[in-house]
Structure 1
Amino acid sequence: MRLLHLGNVMMDLVLTVPALPERGGDVVATGSRSAPGGGFNVMAAAARQGLPVTYAGAHGSGPFGDRARAALREEGIDVLLAPRPERDTGFVVCLVDAEGERTFVTSPGAEATLRPTDLAQLRPEREDLVYLSGYGLLYEANRAALTAWVPQLDPAVTLIVDPGPLVRDIPADALQLLMARADWWSCNAREAALHTKIDDPAAAAGALRSRLKRGSALVRTGPDGCLLHHDGTLDVIPGFAVRPVDLNGAGDAHTGVFMAALAHGLAPAAAARRANAAAAMAVTVAGPATAPGADALDAFLRQSRPAPR
């Protein structure tokens, strides 16, 4: 049993600025950091729960690719493909202003060059979980490879789809194909609203579930926890009250831990409760890849109770 991740690993270049510069202007950052991001955060969260993880996406040759692979190795994550010799892994510039608002600019790299021949090397077992991100579907090459490969999946393989914040930019035919095959559709409340045009998270979760041919919907509702629309029932899974330090990466921690919990045999509601706890722990630490390890998460769950609704 393992998690096969078909998303994108990139480098995040994060600059803290007092305010965004006007057009043609300049500003001096008050702080900066760089770290692997994108799909790395989800994989790290799952791997820290003891789930074997394989990164099956593309990656490049160069300083960004080298650093991304080193971070994957440090988390015990296998890398399936060889580095692309012709280009480096891409990067994301993130400007964080004084109010905490984040502005992103993405420069795609080798991770946007997935090919059908790459996926031919990937043979999921019936017990495996496969994760797809909506970001990958925005790139023409990746979209063509993935939409040709997904229909060939064994029906026993669990497919988790996270459409991401740009869900409205995903071509409709690709979106429909994934909704027809997904076993879990995992997103936050804002993404659910963008997709369904329904602002109420519970109603949006129901709408998502009605559009899935065989799967269930999970909608994250921030500190309130998450909603599960599974087996015809809507369950409200409460979150945990903590003092947040950095909200970055909470959704990735939630998704990675939820998948690991499912793989380890937990029922969906119990897996969602564990994921809520992991997301709560993640926001108490600065940085993107702050999901806890299994022992720390177990201790938190023994000592904590969900916040009252």
Structure 2
Amino acid sequence: MVTLGEILIELNAVTSGPLRHVNYFEKHVAGSEANYCVAFIRLGNGCTYIGRVGRDEFGYNAIEWLRGKGVNVEHVKLDENPTGLFFIQRNYPVPLHSESIYYRKGSAGSKLSPEDVKEDVVRGADLVHSTGITLAISNSARDAVFKAFSLNERRSFDTNIRLKLWTPEEARSAIMKLLRDYPVKYLITDVDDSRILVGETDPDRASTLLKEYAEVIIMKQGPRGASLYHDGGRYFSPGYSVPVEDVTGAGDALGGTFLSLVTSGFSLEKALDYAIVSSTLNVMIRGDQENLPGLPEIETFLREMDKK
């Protein structure tokens, strides 16, 4: 898989509550496409990242971390702008909810451009993946995604609408244009995003409105689980009740695991069942990538759940 996006440094509050009263933070490498990439690799497949980080200590940290996870970072450029940051505020003012506070305007990652998209690399991929976040961070990053999607018909897209980055109208216009121009094999979304895109929060009705743009649709529904729509059929995989530390990155864990497993030949339904486990484990810790499981860990989890 080839992914395009912005690698970020996440500073996650060690304690819950408003950040004005938080004194200690943990540092993690994050960013949606980076999370997808690591999840994809944990299930036995390779991933190449296209993007930019700052020529600074955080940028070096991101490159070294992802390389250590097995990501091909050959096409991650060093940029003179700083690596983007975001802080995580947890359990305030909404319990079991995490809020991202961004410091990324003008960041190195936002300077991603079509010239960064290596045509031979993208054409040779089994799958090319990006998200609505990359469409939102800059016009040049948006153009890079459009270029990459024009080069490979095996495309995956997670809507990942972040309203701190753009308005609902901007999100709907850009994402729907991408899907109209370049329908995807896998569309990963949720009920909040589908309300913005097609004015519908019911998963079944939303998928009906989106099905012309995707062969397979995954509709995430938070702790309830997720629904899969394909070839006129519907499959629902329920979630699990576990202690929640931080929900940031849970959707990326689900999506990256699902894509890797279907690439390896798993059925869509089994891939989604396993992806739900990955998402479940993700919410139990701080950090987006540290708890991403491999196949043995997922199967151990499922065996233990079967005993209960």
Q: What's the TM-score bracket when you normalise by the shorter of the two chains?
A: 0.7 to 0.9
Is contact 1:184-1:217 (8 Å) kept?
yes
Aligned-partner residue type, residue 70 of structure 1: E
Matched-pair identity in %: 24
Q: 1:40 to 1:173 in 2, by over 3 A?
A: closer
Q: What is the 5 A alignment of 1:185-224?
A: 185-210=187-212, 212=213, 214-224=214-224
8 A contact 2:119–2:148 mirrored in 1: no
Q: Name the structure 1 match of 2:2.
A: 4
Residues 8-62 of structure 1: per-residue CA shift (max 9 Å, x gap): 2111123456336xxxxxx331431221111322222111111111111222211
Aligned to 1:165: 161
Residue matched to 2:48: 54
Once the two structures are superposed, the pairs formed by residues 155-304 of structure 1 within 5 Å of their partners are 155=153, 158-166=154-162, 168=168, 169-170=170-171, 172=173, 175-179=176-180, 180-210=182-212, 212=213, 214-289=214-289, 290-304=291-305
Residue 129 (1) aligns with residue 127 (2): yes
**AA of the residue aligned to 1:263:** T
Residue 255 of structure 2 aligns to a residue in which SS? helix
Which whole-Å CA distance do the structure 2 matches of 1:305 and 1:222 have between them? 22
Distance change >3 Å, CA 40–CA 232, structure 1 → 2 = same
Q: Provide the residue aligned with 2:83 in structure 1.
A: 89
Letter in 2 for 1:14: N
The root-mean-square deviation of aligned C-alpha atoms, in Å, is: 2.5
Q: Which amino acid aligns with 1:175?
A: M
Conserved? CA contact 2:84–2:104, under 8 Å: yes
Provide the secondary structure at the position in 1 that maps to 2:101: strand
Contact in 1 for aligned 2:50/2:75 (Cα 8 Å): yes
Instruction: Establish whether residue 151 from structure 1 lines up as the match of residue 150 from structure 2.
Output: yes
Task: Tell whether the 8 Å contact from 2:35 to 2:253 is kept in structure 1 after alignment.
Answer: yes
Aligned to 2:108: 110
Deviates more, 1:103-112 or 1:163-172: 163-172
Structure with the higher fraction of residues in helix conformation:
2
Aligned length: 294
For 1:19 and 1:177, the matched residues in 2 are separated by 37
- Structure 1 portions without partners, runs of 5+: 21-26
The letter of the residue matching 2:88 is C
CA contact (8 A) 1:257 1:274 kept: yes
Q: What is the Cα deviation at residue 111 of structure 1? A: 1.1
Quote how far apart the aligned CAs of 1:230 are.
Answer: 0.7
Larger mean CA deviation between 261-270 and 164-173 belongs to 164-173
C-alpha deviation, 1:216, in angstroms:
2.2
Decide whether the 8 Å contact of 2:30 with 2:288 is kept in 1: yes
Q: What is the CA–CA distance in structure 2 between the aligned matches of 1:219 and 1:305, rounded to whole Å?
A: 25
Q: Is the 8 A contact 1:261 1:271 kept in 2?
A: yes
Q: Report how far residue 257 of structure 1 moved.
A: 0.4
Select 1:33's aligned residue among 26, 35, 48.
26
CA, structure 1 residues 303+126, in 2 after alignment: closer, same or farther (shift >3 Å)?
farther
Assess, with a 3 A threshold, how the Cα gap between structure 1 residues 246 and 175 changes in structure 2: closer, same or farther.
same
Q: TM-score when scaled to structure 1?
A: 0.85
C-alpha contact 2:35 2:249 (8 A) present in aligned 1:
yes
Distance in 2 separating the partners of 1:174 and 1:306 = 43
Looking at structure 1, the residues matched to 193 and 307 of structure 2 have their Cα atoms a distance apart, in angstroms, of 24
> Residue 104 and residue 84 in structure 1: after superposition, are their counterparts in 2 closer, same or farther (change >3 A)?
same
Partner of 1:120: 118
Q: What amino acid is aligned across from residue 162 of structure 2 in structure 1?
A: L
User: Is the Cα contact below 8 Å between 2:257 and 2:278 reproduced in 1?
Assistant: yes
TM-score by length of 2: 0.85
For residue 272 of structure 1, report the CA deviation from its aligned partner.
0.8
Q: Report deviation, 1:164.
A: 0.7
- CA distance 1:29–1:150, change in 2 (3 Å): same
Which 4+ stretches in 1 moved above 6 angstroms?
none
SS in 2 for 1:59: strand
Inter-partner Cα distance in structure 1 for 2:288 and 2:125: 29
Counterpart of 2:303 in structure 1: which amino acid?
R
- 1:165 maps to a residue whose letter is I
Residues 238, 97 of structure 1: CA spacing in aligned structure 2 closer, same or farther, 3 A cutoff? Answer: closer
The AA in structure 1 aligned to 2:47 is: V
Give the secondary-structure state (helix, strand or coil) at the position aligned to 2:29.
strand
Q: Between 274-283 and 162-171, report the one with greater CA deviation.
A: 162-171
